[in-house]
């Protein structure tokens, strides 16, 4: 069975839970609390030298890090990753945009302002930059989505899942989506697709084996 190391409140970990839930793929979830340094233990660093979650453990014991790489791996040959060469490249284009232009501002603001106690005081000097870069990313999304239901080819893909994870909780990082009607409509469309689960969802814990007598 797949094993996912993640943190419940982490948007990057949520991306992977959301895709696995939509696929109906069973997996075991291992909670790693990065706020308590559980991602920096020698054991965890052997699995992922970067010491970050999410981290996927495959049945053979190999590990795959980076949320968007995990999404692409899991989405292969499913409706969430197109086979067409250009459409596939467009999915990757939006996933690179998410990691380069969106997540570093929108996820970082939420992490420090909502999840880390005292984070607002620790990172005061970063807040203006997060706001400037985060709103710039939201404006790009707004322009793109004003004429399309989803990011690529009119259908939900891992590009939407990657961008949904942090956008739907952007307000927890002091952003407002009031001026972004197309983004808000897109969030609602993603939520209306089959198999949607919220960030608080986690799979049933694996049941202990009952010995056969």
Ligand X SMILES: N[C@@H](CCC(=O)N[C@@H](CS)C(=O)NCC(=O)O)C(=O)O
For the window 88-117, what string marks contact with ligand X as x by the rule CB under 6 A? Answer: -----------x------------------
Q: Are 101 and 165 in contact (CB under 8 A)?
A: no
Measured between alpha carbons, how far is 44 from 32 in angstroms, rounded to an integer?
A: 9
Task: Tell me which of 54, 82, 134, 173 binds ligand X, using CB under 6 A.
Answer: 54
Smallest gap from residue 178 Cβ to ligand X (A): 26
Task: Tell me which of 29, 39, 56, 157 binds ligand X, using CB under 6 A.
Answer: 39
Measured between alpha carbons, how far is 180 from 168 in angstroms, rounded to an integer?
A: 12
Residue 58 or 146: the one with the smaller Cβ distance to ligand X is 58
Measured between alpha carbons, how far is 80 from 158 in angstroms, rounded to an integer?
A: 5
Is 53 an interacting residue with respect to ligand X (CB under 6 A)?
Answer: yes
Residue 40 or 143: the one with the smaller Cβ distance to ligand X is 40
Smallest gap from residue 199 Cβ to ligand X (A): 12
Q: Are 203 and 29 in contact (CB under 8 A)?
A: yes
Smallest gap from residue 50 Cβ to ligand X (A): 8
Find tokens 């880390």 and name the residue. Answer: 116
Task: Tell me which of 17, 22, 29, 52 binds ligand X, using CB under 6 A.
Answer: 52
Stretch that binds ligand X, among 56-64, 65-73, 83-91, 185-193 (CB under 6 A): 65-73
Q: Are 134 and 109 in contact (CB under 8 A)?
A: yes
The alpha carbons of the chain give a radius of gyration, in whole angstroms, of: 18
Task: Tell me which of 4, 5, 12, 80 binds ligand X, using CB under 6 A.
Answer: 12
Is 51 an interacting residue with respect to ligand X (CB under 6 A)?
Answer: yes
Task: Tell me which of 4, 5, 10, 156 binds ligand X, using CB under 6 A.
Answer: 10
- Ranges within 167-206 binding ligand X (CB under 6 A): none
Which of 88, 102, 92, 78 is CA-nearest to residue 12? Answer: 102
Using DSSP, how many helices (H) and how many strands (E) does the chain show? 9, 4
* Peptide bond before residue 54 is cis, with ω within 30 degrees of 0: yes
Residues at the site binding ligand X, with contacts judged by CB under 6 A: 7, 10, 12, 34, 39, 51-54, 66-68, 99
């Amino acid at each position: 069975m797949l094993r996912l190391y993640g943190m419940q409140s982490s948007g990057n970990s949520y991306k992977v839970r959301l895709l696995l839930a939509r696929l109906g793929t069973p997996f075991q979830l291992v909670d790693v609390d990065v706020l308590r340094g559980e991602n920096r233990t020698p054991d965890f660093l052997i699995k992922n030298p970067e010491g970050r979650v999410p981290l996927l453990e495959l049945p053979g014991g190999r590990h795959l890090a980076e949320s968007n790489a995990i999404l692409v791996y899991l989405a292969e040959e499913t409706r969430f990753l197109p086979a067409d060469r250009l459409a596939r490249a467009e999915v990757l284009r939006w996933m690179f945009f998410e990691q380069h232009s969106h997540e570093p501002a929108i996820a970082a603001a939420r992490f420090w302002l909502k999840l880390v106690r005292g984070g607002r005081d620790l990172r005061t000097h970063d807040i203006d930059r997060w706001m400037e870069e985060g709103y710039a990313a939201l404006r790009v999304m707004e322009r793109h989505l004003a004429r399309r239901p989803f990011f690529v080819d009119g259908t939900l893909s891992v590009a939407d899942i990657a961008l949904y994870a942090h956008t739907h909780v952007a307000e927890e990082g002091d952003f407002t989506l009031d001026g972004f009607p197309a983004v808000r409509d897109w969030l609602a469309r993603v939520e209306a697709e089959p198999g949607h689960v919220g960030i608080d969802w986690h799979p049933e814990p694996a049941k202990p084996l009952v010995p056969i007598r």
